[in-house]
Amino acid sequence: MEIFGLPLETIYLYTLIISGVLTLLFILFGDILSGLEAPDYLNPVLILAFLTVFGASGYLFEKVTNLHSGLSAVISGCSALLIVSLLNIFILIPLSSAEESLSISESDLKGRIGKVLTSVPVDGFGEVLIESASGSIAKPAVSFDNEAIPEASLVLVIEVKNGVLHVLPHQQIEIG
């Protein structure tokens, strides 16, 4: 079968090569396009992946099998759609949500207990380490009541202003 005077396997091969080159360029220069707002179904990664899989499977079906060209195009389209859907569901969506979940906001630090790494002077800054299941974060800290807090003591974060923790010494209550 020929389209535009070219055999169908040549069109599949051109589609594969062009989409492969565009994918490589998108990997290298994709950050330039990151500011553009577009619907999720117009994601360049998904479009390029579809074209690449469609071109590759169509070329293989034309070269290896004796199927009718229309049937091989339908099978190639369905397989590309299936693979791109699986790529989106199992790789792209979890990666995009994982990136957001690793960030911590300042409001999340209120009420947390930390350990003083660098002692907090009366009118100065120290450093406090807050540990959690996802990792540790060290932030500058000042005393909420303008009292000195020694190194290695536990503190309670009262508030966070401009990235600086305002802390009070924490007293552990023993129940017994």
What pTM was computed for the model? 0.56
* Residue 35 pLDDT grade (very low, low, confident, very high; cuts 50, 70, 90): low
* Separation of alpha carbons 9 and 55, rounded Å: 9
Residues 119, 151 contacting (CB under 8 angstroms): yes
Taking each helix axis as running N to C, give the angle between helix 8-29 and helix 44-64, from 0 to 180 degrees, rounded to the nearest 10: 150
Q: What is the pLDDT of residue 173?
A: 45
Q: What secondary structure letter does DSSP report for 62?
A: H
Phi-psi region of 132 (alpha: psi -120 to 50; beta: other; left: phi over 0): beta
* Residue 32 pLDDT grade (very low, low, confident, very high; cuts 50, 70, 90): confident
The token pair that represents 161 in the structure block: 């202003």
Q: What is the pLDDT of residue 113?
A: 92
Residues 110, 144 contacting (CB under 8 angstroms): no
**Cβ atoms < 10 Å from Cβ of 67:** 13
pLDDT digits (tens, 9 = 90+) for 41-95: 678 888 999 999 999 999 999 999 998 988 999 999 999 999 999 998 998 888 7
CATH superfamily of 106-169: Nucleic acid-binding proteins (2.40.50.140)
pLDDT digits (tens, 9 = 90+) for 131-169: 877 778 899 999 988 899 999 999 999 999 988 999 999
* Residue 98 pLDDT grade (very low, low, confident, very high; cuts 50, 70, 90): low
* Residue 100 pLDDT grade (very low, low, confident, very high; cuts 50, 70, 90): low
Distances (CA, A) of 76 to 47, 62, 65, 86: 15, 10, 12, 15
Task: Give domain limits for the chain.
Answer: 2-101, 106-169
